[in-house]
A and B are shown apart, each in its own frame.
Chain A
């Protein structure tokens, strides 16, 4: 009753290689005119897109990997002549500062100020962090520039009243939706994981650790709620700084509490692999559970062979999707590194933006709209109406800018790889 087999896989057969290079097909625009001979072959000029992600300092690992995904999308679009005769320029901004050592709302606000002032920029991928989003959204909203975030999960950014700490209306001074995100909020994900843990894995006592960041803390909160609702016990909830490397005190405690599972609300770069390894070292056999932040090759860098057996939820089966496979290979080939948790999201964000631009150009008769403001407005409308099948599944947006893709897969760490199990949608119960 809870689980529905994925309906994503059958769609794969029709995704051709050519389309992959141009990253998915659109059902909204005037036919997939990919390649140089399409309807846009007469297009002259260039279109500028941008990204704003934290790529230095403490966020370099995860933000930098996301930016690499974004960049790859741009390069592929240029190589495959997605916009026909027009080229895509790409501005990459870094919203972390040396003053903070990580993402900095002040830098973010300054970055988007410069991006929206540059009328050539028609859309921005980012930001990565919720706090930066709060500082940036009013600026881009007022200027009418679309922002697509690969990673913001705080529900309050789009849905009024869901997060008492965020005044959603203040983020939208014009009242129009200009901000979209391709990642589902954590409520759904936590629900899926709680159900799998309780009903399928038959776990009853969880020890919950979060990484003190917005994402991790929220994910753990929701997981605790759902797990308790189903009848499980949360033996203890601890909250550790993101730079924690020594989880032995917590493992000792979990052993003492007789927990049969450990949930980690946090990203791999904040130590999920290290935790798993130390659990094995200490002989704690409890099941390791986590969310999509952990479905990341870094997990195995940290945990080695001891990572096996961990289970975590993430977007539907990205490793099985042929387009994702292709992306993961291309990424590795290009950068000589593995993708990080949000590379696929960043890649899809940029592809959605480019697809929307493509559609606008097709509607406009293969010409760049003369008025930049109109161009920007049209791109927002096309993003709103997009139906895009990419590496993270099918993305459509509701009127708040949230993705309608609420499906999650559960992944199991097997032989140094995240292997997807069946796709799960949360039950109504």
Chain B
């Protein structure tokens, strides 16, 4: 553990000794976190279909079927271990490759050996995967078929893990690029996801649902909290406003307003309307906070975050449908293609939207407005003395942040066909805030990564823990693992993850450059005080 953070002395004046030392320590701790995370994914039992013979009628070859089949004992345990070590090596190699470039210094001991081993492991894995697919007469890149459970499981694990490592390793070069490059990279990688994971429709459903929505929320909240430094504890309120606006305009509730008979519902117009209404409310609700500072502002936003879902639940003005919410929200369509319930079109639409928003935010951050935000964040009095209109600057941050969540709300309703008050409670605001802080306050990349990571933990790892453990337990013979009720431990697990990530990376996974400079500046300088909230 980094000694300097522990505040071993009287606690507050001592700073990171040297910047490089800090970075190295941080890097290695996150690296191990990644390794452990990757291992957990693997334990997830994605290797299982390897051992499952298709049943006589061809169905039942799901990982869960293993539950009913006898334990495979030592053999499968060995294969698990093999997979684990391969992944570890691969991760190590990726890490070394990157850190070599970054540090321009000495590579880790055994780096070369690890790289070679990893390459060998990778080749072995792919070969085994190929052979199994061959034996089971399943196409390697064939049509999407739920029966083909050779399943790019191996792919899913290896690619996902490798992507994580690479993304982490290249975070510095990536963060150094312009918004445009960033969006381009995100687009290319993102566009490939449904192809890579074509066999796991659930994964695409996660990506188009939870991941995309929480990434949008993180990006929007980052404008308010990160750029302008206004702590918002009620962000779900704006999310709700966008979702309810779009929901009622795209359902029978107020659908007539914009709907031309025999034409599809104009989702793309409604989308922007929703964002606009959310932005309007953002500015309106932001107004009372203008005179407030620090945590008093936070508590007012928290207040709105409580009032808005309350109003939705109480069917305010007869517009929200009470606890049932608004249902029958029409799915969007584009050029005559109805999105329906297939997650893929949503995924692509959201991908484009997120990329656009990243570009816009990136440019905003570097514009006059962005600088005004920084000025207001660092010292409001000084900012206003230099002629910055602090009122409009702050309101603009609220409005833009709200508009982004309005987009998220529109898609949320369109995908699920329902918006209900339960979806916008305080817990959602807290989750959104966690994504921003975890990713790195003030950094667009950080926010996006935070959104992805948190939604991956909440909507992928935690819900699958039970299945993974059962399959692992059954194949390896540790049947005790199969009977653990994981849903009990979900809260503890999530809490431990949050705490440990924050302890390991207090500035977030990808801190914004400005903040990093502040942290490394040393001495009781003004920016440091700002970071510590003592301005």
Is chain B in direct contact with chain A in the complex (CB below 8 A)?
yes
Q: Bound state CA distance, A388 and B472, in angstroms?
A: 37
Q: Indicate which residue in B147, B202, B314 contacts A113 across the interface (CB closer than 8 Å).
A: B202
Q: A102: nearest residue on chain B (CB-CB)?
A: B422
CB-defined contacts of A99 to chain B, threshold 8 Å: 210, 214, 427-428, 431, 455, 458-459
- For window 118-138 of A, CB contacts with B under 8 Å fall at 118-121, 130-131, 134-135, 138
Residues of A47-101 at the interface with B, using a CB-CB cut-off of 8 Å, are: 47-48, 55-57, 60, 64, 87, 89-94, 97-101
B425 A101 Cβ-Cβ under 8 A: yes
Contact with A along B311-341 (1 / 0, CB 8 A): 0011000000111111110100000000011
Give the distance to chain A from B255, nearest Cβ to Cβ, in Å: 10
Chain A contact residue count (CB 8 A cutoff): 66
B458 adjacent to A98 (CB under 8 Å):
yes
Contacts of B214 in A (CB 8 A): 99
Q: Cβ of A105 and Cβ of B416 under 8 Å apart? A: yes
Query: A118, B416: Cβ atoms under 8 Å?
Result: no
* CB neighbors of B among A163-189 (8 A): 163, 165-167, 169-171, 173
B314 and A239 within 8 A (CB): yes
Q: Is the CB of B61 within 8 A of A120?
A: yes
Instruction: Give the chain B neighbours of A117 by CB distance below 8 A.
Output: 146, 200-202
Q: Mark A141-165, 1 if CB is under 8 A from B, else 0.
A: 0100000000000101000000101
B348 within 8 A of A: no
Q: Does B60 contact A (CB under 8 A)?
A: yes
Identify which of B34-42, B178-186, B386-394, B484-492 touches chain A: B484-492
In the assembled complex, A114 has its CB within 8 A of some CB on chain B: yes
Within 8 A of A (CB), among B427-463: 427-428, 431, 455, 458-459, 462-463
Q: Does A139 contact B (CB under 8 A)?
A: yes
Q: Could you say which of A225-233, A290-298, A364-372, A410-418 contacts chain B?
A: A364-372
Q: Report A-chain residues with C-beta under 8 Å of the C-beta of B328.
A: 166-167, 169-170
Q: Are B423 and A105 in contact (CB under 8 A)?
A: yes
A195 on interface, CB distance cutoff 8 Å: no
Q: Which of B213, B323, B428 contacts A217 (CB 8 A)?
A: B323
Residues from chain A with a CB closer than 8 A to the CB of B68 are 46, 87, 89
Chain B residues near A45: list those with CB within 8 A: 55-57, 60
Enumerate chain A residues within 8 angstroms of B324, measured Cβ to Cβ.
Answer: 130-131, 154, 156, 163, 165-166, 214
Closest chain B residue to A56, Cβ basis: B487
**Contact between B60 and A120, CB atoms less than 8 A apart:** yes
Complex CA distance for A107 and B404, rounded to whole angstroms: 22
- A100 and B427 within 8 A (CB): yes
With a cutoff of 8 Å between Cβ atoms, the chain B residues found around residue A109 in the complex are 205, 209, 415-416
Query: Are A44 and B60 in touch, CB under 8 angstroms?
Result: no
Tell me which residues across on chain B come within 8 A of A119, comparing CB atoms. 59, 146-147
A427 on interface, CB distance cutoff 8 Å: no
**Residues of A with C-beta under 8 A to B322:** 165, 217
B47-73 interface with A by 8 A CB criterion: 55-62, 64-65, 67-68
Enumerate chain B residues within 8 angstroms of A375, measured Cβ to Cβ.
59
Residue B467 at the A interface, CB < 8 A? yes
Q: Is A277 an interface residue (CB 8 A)?
A: no
A103 CB contacts on chain B under 8 angstroms: 422
Instruction: Let me know if A167 and B252 touch, CB within 8 A.
Output: yes
B55, B67, B425, B491: the one within 8 Å of A56 (CB): B491
A98–B462 touching, CB < 8 Å: yes
In the complex the two chains form, is A92's CB within 8 Å of B427's CB?
Answer: no
Q: Which chain A residue has the least Cβ–Cβ distance from B412? A: A106
Query: Which residue from B327, B423, B490 sits with its C-beta under 8 Å from A167?
Result: B327
A202 within 8 A of B: no
Among B427, B428, B466, the most chain A Cβ lie within 10 Å of the Cβ of B427
Contact B420 A56 (CB under 8 A): no
A100 touches B423 (CB 8 A): yes
> Does A213 reach chain B (CB closer than 8 Å)?
yes
In the complex, whether B206 has a CB less than 8 A from a CB of chain A is yes
Q: Does B301 contact A (CB under 8 A)?
A: no
B475 at interface (Cβ–Cβ under 8 A)?
no
A374 to chain B, nearest CB (A): 11
Determine the chain A residues whose CB is within 8 A of the CB of B67 once the complex forms.
89-90
Q: Name the distance in Å between A158's Cβ and chain B's nearest Cβ.
A: 13
Pick from B57, B327, B416, B423: contact of A165, CB below 8 A. B327
Q: Are B62 and A48 in contact (CB under 8 A)?
A: yes
> CB-CB < 8 A to A55: which residues of B?
487
Q: Does A111 contact B (CB under 8 A)?
A: yes
Assembled-state Cα–Cα distance A306/B458 (Å): 41
Whether A93 and B62, one on each chain, are in contact in the complex, defined by CB atoms closer than 8 angstroms, is: no
Q: Per a CB cutoff under 8 Å, which of A44, A102, A105, A217 touches B56? A: A44
A-side residues, CB < 8 A to B, are: 44-48, 55-57, 60, 64, 87, 89-94, 97-107, 109-111, 113-114, 117-121, 130-131, 134-135, 138-139, 142, 154, 156, 163, 165-167, 169-171, 173, 212-214, 217, 239, 367-370, 372, 375
What are 9 contact pairs spanning A and B, CB under 8 A? Answer: A47-B60, A55-B487, A89-B67, A117-B146, A131-B418, A134-B327, A166-B324, A369-B57, A370-B57
Across the A-B interface, the 3 shortest Cβ-Cβ residue pairs: A167-B328, A114-B202, A165-B321
Given A99-B428, A120-B61, 6 more A-B residue pairs with CB atoms under 8 Å apart are A57-B490, A89-B65, A110-B205, A110-B463, A131-B423, A134-B417
